[in-house]
Structure 1
Amino acid sequence: MTARARSLAVLLILAAGATGVIASTQTWLIVTIEDGARDPLPVSGAAALPVLAPLSLTTLALGAALAIAGTVLRYAFGALTIVIAATLGVATGVVALTAPVAAVVSAVTEATGIAGLEAVDDLVTGISTTPWPLITLAACVVLLAAGVLILATAHRWPGSGRKYRTSAQVAPDGAPSRRTDAIDSWDELSRGQDPTV
């Protein structure tokens, strides 16, 4: 059960991070501008929510590191996962539920050359949302659940494998075994032995 909890937490974090990265490239908002000759302007997730891509990439890295983290780092990563989920969740919720003009200012400025929140607000006649903000919000909920799962079960997770340990190992006869270094590993390879076994 504990190994399954770790695998599930890592999988949920990676899935949420990947969803965030994908969502940052998709159209979140469609803006109608007062100039009737102009087509509706699509606004990507990265433009509507600039922190989405960086925090999603951080989430992916966190999920990968969690797979080999020790007990103390598991709790730190669990808390960080909850903070990222809450931050992204609140910001995404604002965009998804209210479609504020502030989320489209950069895209409108790039398309029209008109800058400033008030000037863009006067120019915009309507903003509609696509499903992507809600999909991202659901990913934030999944990420939050993963963080809670980590904090609840991290103390029971099995330790990392032998290749991640840095302390001296004890040989089967009870004597501490000598740590090998890079030169020892090369020597073993030269003799046709596998140093990772």
Structure 2
Amino acid sequence: MALPIRRAKSTSLLLILLAGGIGILSSTQTWLSVSRTDGGEQLDVAGNAALPVLAPLSLTALALAAALALVGPVMRRVFAAIGLAVGVLMTVLTARILLQHPLDAVASSLTKATGLAGDSAVAGVVRTISATPWPWLALAGWILLLLGGALALITAGRWKSGGRRYRTSSAPAEGPVDAVESWDELSRGIDPT
């Protein structure tokens, strides 16, 4: 059974909003923990330090949800495609951090904590890098973004548009014209005289 269009619109917008919210929340949480060889205490690295584009692209997802709710069918497709692109990029970047625990994800935090700079100096301080549950939650959020963007892209042309009260008609009024209708015609750029 196909998903009704009204439900498809609300579902896709909800998925995109959830993804952006999870991304923003996870950007402030600890993603990686670094145990050090120099005897220093364990260093916790927040999501926005491990993945600097996390907060901006999460905000982009939130803005896309708002824009999708307001624009016409052509721009809906454009914004849905942007949402898909953001979802793919963030899925790849987050999966890289989860699977590889790259040194570059913790290098800036280690440099601030130790004063050491350069790949070899930082690598010498790192014993192990372990991930917390937050990047996994963020990855789930990006999958939601992919689903919401795909659903919006597929169904965007059939979403209901804004109400009639926001549309203007350029056709002149038929029949007798009263003072209110005259002002309305003036607002539309038509001279009622």
| Pairwise same-fold verdict (TM > 0.5) | yes
Corresponding residue number in structure 2 for 1:107: 109
Deviation at 1:162, TM superposition (A): 3.6
CA distance in 2, matches of 1:149, 1:96: 27
SS in 1 for 2:13: helix
Corresponding residue number in structure 2 for 1:35: 38
- Is 1:59 the equivalent of 2:66? no
Deviation at 1:123, TM superposition (A): 1.1
SS in 1 for 2:24: helix
TM value normalised by structure 1: 0.84
Q: Deviations over 1:144-192 (max 9, x none)?
A: 0111101111111111224544x426699699963748xxxxxxxxxxx
TM value normalised by structure 2: 0.86
Letter in 1 for 2:169: A
Segments of structure 2 that go 5 or more residues without pairing to the other structure are 189-193
RMSD: 2.2
SS in 2 for 1:29: strand
- Is 1:13 the equivalent of 2:16? yes
Q: Residue 172 of structure 2 contacts residue 185 of structure 2 at CA under 8 Å; is this kept in 1?
A: no
Corresponding residue number in structure 2 for 1:186: none
Pairs aligned (count) = 179
CA distance in 2, matches of 1:122, 1:151: 47
Corresponding residue number in structure 2 for 1:138: 140
Corresponding residue number in structure 2 for 1:92: 94
Q: Residue 75 of structure 1 contacts residue 150 of structure 1 at CA under 8 Å; is this kept in 2?
A: yes
Q: Residue 9 of structure 1 contacts residue 147 of structure 1 at CA under 8 Å; is this kept in 2?
A: yes
Q: Quick one: which of 172, 178, 191 aligns to 2:185?
A: 178
Corresponding residue number in structure 2 for 1:168: 169
Letter in 1 for 2:122: V
CA distance in 1, matches of 2:145, 2:77: 15
Q: Deviations over 1:108-146 (max 9, x none)?
A: 001011111221111101111100111111111110011
CA distance in 2, matches of 1:179, 1:11: 41
- Is 1:23 the equivalent of 2:26? yes
Q: Deviations over 1:70-92 (max 9, x none)?
A: 00011001100100000000000
Corresponding residue number in structure 1 for 2:191: none
Q: Residue 80 of structure 2 contacts residue 149 of structure 2 at CA under 8 Å; is this kept in 1?
A: yes
CA distance in 1, matches of 2:139, 2:132: 13
Segments of structure 1 that go 5 or more residues without pairing to the other structure are 182-197
CA distance in 1, matches of 2:22, 2:166: 29
Q: Aligned pair in 2 of structure 1 residues 75, 28: CA closer, same or farther (>3 Å)?
A: same
